[in-house]
Amino acid sequence: MNVVGLTTSTADRKRRAGQRLIIGLAGTSLNEEERSFIRDAQPGGFILFARNVEEPRQVLELNRELASLLPSDLPPIRCVDQEGGRVQRVKSPATVWPPMRWVGNVGDLAYTREVGRALAREVRALGFDLDFAPDADVDSNPKNPIIGDRAFSADPGRTAAHVAAFVQGMQGAGCIACAKHFPGHGDTATDSHLELPCVEKDPPDLEQVELPPFQAAIDAGVATVMTAHVVYPAWDAEYPATMSPRILNGLLRQKQRFEGVIISDDLEMKAVRGRWPLHEQLSRASSATVDVFLACKDLTLVVDAWESLIRLQEEDKRQEDAAIDGVKRWHRLRERFLVPERAGAEPRPSLSILGSAEHMDLALRARVEGMA
């Protein structure tokens, strides 16, 4: 599998910039503007939302078409937010999973592992490679408007144990897992989709509450981590985690020894969009060791981000080095999960697995034993 060139040609810079983007689509099929951009930029991945979903076969065919537009040596990583509970993009006839809080309440790590495996099998049957799950946040603030029952627990140790089990189940079934939102979105009182949250806690409290689930995910081999658009003044009073070298490089890479792919939360979220110029956001995030950027809907923003990532490489050798490092990690992720002889995972299931009796029984157990 070809690693996008390590030379400094304009073509290589463009390909590296494209590979660092996971982009969203406007509807249930591609329009010509999207097709044109995909052929030009060769994005590293795609993400689908409810607006892109009619029914399972249409999702599978859309994912197949997206893969067909990219070179065979640069297969896209096709992504979805399929957590269960209120964050589930593909619903019936797929299994409608309960919130992970209910799964955590069951108190059976083997069960949590099986839920992760079952979710992975359904996601893979739909043509996806990466599920932005599990939520590794600790639900420590009752006023949090965005996390709540998406978290396994309000207890750090309990959350950590279930996060690790879920990651093991999901990745054991061949689906890339993502622990989010580093270093923790559970104690915010505002929604980063709408504004920039700030968590005013001292370092010992942050380290004891927020970090253990992410360390557990890393120890379980999680392949990707998503950043939080949240400010933690104890660590960095000026920039949110997505743009902070102290948090991402200092804590996640060095202290917690995460060597996988760091993915930004969506660049369209109001916590960051318009608060800093896009060029500065991308520059600071790249310096902080973000590898790949999510841009979930607006094609204008996607194009601007691609062009900015090209310019950053032209302007600063350190930015080019960061781009090279990011693309290398993205390729290692492909080799780990998309190359069958290396992945060692079960074959991609057929759509008949969606809503199977086994999976429905798993979902029912959480509703019976774990409903909060």
Q: Report, as residue numbers or ranges, the catalytic residues.
A: 193, 265
d(CA 203, CA 4): 39
d(CA 15, CA 306): 9
Hey, CA dihedral for 46, 297, 290, 69, is it positive or negative?
A: positive
DSSP summary character for residue 260: S
Helix, strand, coil percent values for the chain (each to nearest 5): 50, 10, 40
Collapsed DSSP state (helix, strand, coil) of residue 135: strand
d(CA 299, CA 233): 33
d(CA 329, CA 320): 14
Count Cα neighbours of 151 within 13 Å in the Cβ-side half-sphere: 28
Give, in degrees to the nearest 5, the angle at Cα 71 between 68 and 77: 70
| Angle between helices 299-315 and 278-287 in degrees, nearest 10 | 60
d(CA 243, CA 255): 17
- Residue among 329, 371, 1 at smallest CA distance from 176: 329
Which residues, including other chains, have CB under 8 Å from residue 67's CB and lie 6 or more apart? Answer: 75, 76, 78, 127
87-88 and 82-84 strand pairing: antiparallel
d(CA 330, CA 313): 17
Task: Please name the residue ranges forming H helices in 212-351.
Answer: 212-219, 245, 278-287, 299-315, 317-337, 340-343
Query: Do the beta carbons of residue 126 and residue 60 sit within 8 Å?
Result: yes
